[in-house]
Amino acid sequence: MSQPVPPNPQSSDPPISGPPTELAMTLTQADKDARYDENAKKILTFKAVIAVIVKDCAHEFQDVPLNVISGECLSDPPVPPGQEGDLLNGNDCVTMLHQEYVNDNRVKQILDNCFVAYKPGVSTPRIPILFDFEPQNVSNPGYPLPKRGSVYTSHLVIHQLVRKDPKKSAKEGNADGTKGQDETSETEEAVVEPVRNILDAYDYNKIHKVYSIWICTDPKAADRNTIVRYRTEREVVVKPPKTDSQDAPASEPKKDTKKNAAAQQPADEPRENYDIEEVVIINLGTGKDDEPASESAAVNLLNLLFKSEKPVDAKVATIQNEFHIAMGDQFREVMKNMGSFAQVLIQEERLNTAASMLLDNFSVAAIMKHARLSREAVLDLAAELGVDPKEDPDTP
């Protein structure tokens, strides 16, 4: 007999009474997925949330205070960050780039949350870094997520390059004031324009770093509460030949050992010249109260926003007290919407668990405990399934 995996029976959440809510009955699964996805994407546009995520996921920002990231780095022109330790503004959102890109084979790629952050500590000229945030609620979509993330970063890199077509008339000219026109059709022009305008990248020297960050809300159990990074590393495969002095017998003193050691290595290459694409996967946990907190503030915040079953008011208090984000009206409204649809999904999960246990001939009491449903809800579900519920021996 198969054993369903029960929710945590120690949860303090009250049992759900009665059949599915009207909201659950009137929304199709596609509707629920679409509305939940819409609110999930909206949450990832708030600068305060972005600041917490990029600080944990992008090494350029790991030592930068959150108020500097949300103020200076995510704004153009930069906004004074205020004092470190002040509450972050919970209403400010980033400006999104165009989200559809077309490759040479006319294949359209849609990116969810694409925006620019500026490298900290550099004021003139500012150095942009592109980010794409992708909520992902399927743990096994049928392909490796790192591969898909690499495709997304490749799109964002290649669309920073705009070639000039000398065959075009000089009357129209290029965006940089030179003769000729960019080699793009009208459709392509609309696609690459936002990235090109913001980055002004016309040669390889001006290609800027790209991050594709995936937020997996339902990862495998072994992957929960982890952050995994995929990036380019430099490796010297063949070292330069040794010099005569390095081959000298041990009895003969070597000259300038530091210089000799350096001679064995080829000239170093700045990391920013080759590490231009990174894929980061954030695997969330269960969101249960008894789950240990992660060492990552980003994981803890996203668990609270996407997974926790706490009431909205309790989430708001935690966000303000633990993450120092002042909740604005927009942020609160999106969280409220997220909570409504999350509860629908949670209720469906509990009903599915109960249905599986009923079909496996578990007792009503066991189902009530593990699925956290009321007796009435379990009996209604049994009637709907046409199953004779098994009562405990001591049930009157």
For residue 57, pLDDT beyond 70: yes
With a pLDDT cut of 90, the percent of the chain lying above it is 27
- Show the CA angle centred on residue 234, arms to residues 229 and 239, nearest 5°: 150
Please report the pLDDT score of residue 251 as a whole number: 60
Task: Give the pairing of strands 100-102 and 88-89.
Answer: unpaired
**Band of residue 373 on the pLDDT scale cut at 50, 70, 90:** confident
Exposure of 210 by Cβ count < 10 A (0-12 exposed, 13-18 middle, 19+ buried)? buried
DSSP code string of 175-188? TTS-SSEES--HHH
Helix/strand/coil for 51: helix
Cα–Cα dist 78/92, whole Å: 13
Query: Closest Cα partner for 85 from 327, 324, 326?
Result: 324
> What's the DSSP call for residue 90?
S
What is the average per-residue pLDDT within 48-66? 95
Ranges 1-5, 56-60, 61-65: which has the least confidence: 1-5
In this predicted model, what pLDDT tens digit does every residue of 85-144 receive, in sequence order? 688 888 899 988 866 766 666 667 778 789 999 998 877 788 899 999 998 877 678 889
In this predicted model, what pLDDT tens digit does every residue of 163-177 receive, in sequence order? 554 454 444 444 444
Please report the pLDDT score of residue 60 as a whole number: 94
In this predicted model, what pLDDT tens digit does every residue of 190-210 receive, in sequence order? 334 445 444 444 577 878 999
**Band of residue 393 on the pLDDT scale cut at 50, 70, 90:** low
Ranges 3-17, 22-36, 109-123: which has the least confidence: 3-17
Is the pLDDT higher at 138 or at 394?
138
